[in-house]
Structure 1
């Protein structure tokens, strides 16, 4: 019996003797089945070919990524908090050296995940740290492929988590969420966004999509809703879901001007 992992999206599935017949995440129009077809692996095999790379992004913020790139290629963050460490978003791989390193840092108080594309091996991560709770929005519970008693489906528009705040923005998925940590960046605050929004390559804006690989945009109404959800919060930095996608200054203003630019482009901007 094996907890199979989809190599295209990184999702880990419930234990079975044979690989799943399909991956619902990849078959959804926000993701894709590779032309070569669906391929499966498992944690032991992944540990033999890949490593977890740690990078300190800022005081109290550590980036974790799988090397070489695997599946979607996202980064996760270990965030040092006043009430314990939070893992933001998740990865398919968990290795022994990272388990030991996190234990020395005080373990995990919580795992919070932005949306289904980054659920990955969330239950293995939880189990390794004493069945620490895993928080995902209830609107996305249908996408869970491996469940467990530590899984917590939060509801509503905001959820207070160890002096941080989970904010449901919607858009990319119904429950797509971000994490606001007001103590970071010397008290100016940081926002962790997964790909609820995508930091652009010039690091001056963010943008919004229903599907990034399939180039499906969001409606103006959905993007305005994201702006309304975030307007009560102030933050200096924005940490996106992928390597280098970080905005270090004026994060709150970046969100506002990015929404204005997006709306202008899809509702009658210049051709």
Structure 2
């Protein structure tokens, strides 16, 4: 007889408005583990947690195709740090990387029209967003690095991985560590895009009305708290990025067309040449 596995408890999902992290709990949580982590900050006025119905009343999920076959989903107005979630299409299957804070019914219907979601992943817990909605709605496989499994409490992980993992359509997950122990990037070699997570932070140029050009770049363990990476962590970044070819760098917040390996490695080398720093290096 086939193995019968116990089902998950029927718990309510709650979003922290300070950071955007979702928890499933039997009552409104009293705390948020992401906000209380050393990389984040506590809400000055205390915690506020919202249910799915409350989020549906407060925000609108919007989307746009930022590159052929690459769709960005975000919410208006912003909630928490408000990362964008990406859906990358391929004939071999669609991959969602990063999660936006909330996917309304219209957004889920749009994703279904685009072919659904075969695989879900995220760079680190700050950008898990509402990937649990995608998992429950589409029955997606979930790929998270083994070192971040302790944060993946709102959804199950079916594809924990070590150093790298091949997904559909030639997309490849690569472990970088650094910002989080399990921090991961996704390389789309066919489109020349590196979904870089929070391995770097990009500053957008005011002179470009399209918002696709960066004029500054930085790297950090915790930007708000001004905590730099260690030399060993930066060395790991360098070892991963120097092997990749890409012309565009997408963070959870920016989609820049003028940042590639040269710009990223210049930042890393500047940090390794002296004391690692959090400040912005002009491009």
TM-score, length-scaled by structure 1: 0.89
1:176 aligns to 2:186 (yes or no)? no
Alignment partner for residue 10 of structure 1, among 12, 15, 20? 20
Question: 1:252 and 1:67, CA in 2 relative to 1: closer, same or farther beyond 3 A?
Answer: same
User: Does the CA-based 8 Å contact 1:205-1:257 persist in structure 2?
Assistant: no
User: Does the CA-based 8 Å contact 2:127-2:252 persist in structure 1?
Assistant: no
2: CA distance between counterparts of 1:267 and 1:67? 35
1:59 aligns to 2:68 (yes or no)? yes
Aligned match of 2:171: 164
Q: Which has the higher contact order (CA 8 A, sep 6+)?
A: 1
> How many Å apart are 1:89 and its aligned residue?
0.2
Aligned match of 2:118: 109
Alignment partner for residue 239 of structure 1, among 207, 230, 250? 250
Aligned pairs for 1:109-188 within 5 A? 109-129=118-138, 131-148=139-156, 151-162=157-168, 163-184=170-191
> How many Å apart are 1:153 and its aligned residue?
4.7
Alignment partner for residue 234 of structure 2, among 220, 223, 230? 223
Say what the alpha-carbon RMSD is for the aligned residues: 1.8
Q: Gaps spanning 5+ residues in structure 1: where?
A: none
Q: Secondary structure at the match of 1:9?
A: coil
Aligned match of 1:70: 79
TM-score, length-scaled by structure 2: 0.86
Q: Gaps spanning 5+ residues in structure 2: where?
A: 1-10, 206-213, 278-283
> How many Å apart are 1:99 and its aligned residue?
1.1
User: Does the CA-based 8 Å contact 1:90-1:121 persist in structure 2?
Assistant: yes
Aligned match of 1:45: 54
2: CA distance between counterparts of 1:77 and 1:167? 17
Aligned residues: 258
> How many Å apart are 1:166 and its aligned residue?
0.3
Q: Secondary structure at the match of 1:233?
A: coil
> How many Å apart are 1:249 and its aligned residue?
3.6
> How many Å apart are 1:122 and its aligned residue?
2.0
Q: Secondary structure at the match of 2:92?
A: coil
1: CA distance between counterparts of 2:84 and 2:193? 16
Post-superposition CA distance 1:68-122 (Å, at most 9, x none): 0111121111111241211110122111111111111111111111001112222
Aligned match of 2:208: none
User: Does the CA-based 8 Å contact 2:175-2:183 persist in structure 1?
Assistant: yes
Question: 1:211 and 1:267, CA in 2 relative to 1: closer, same or farther beyond 3 A?
Answer: closer
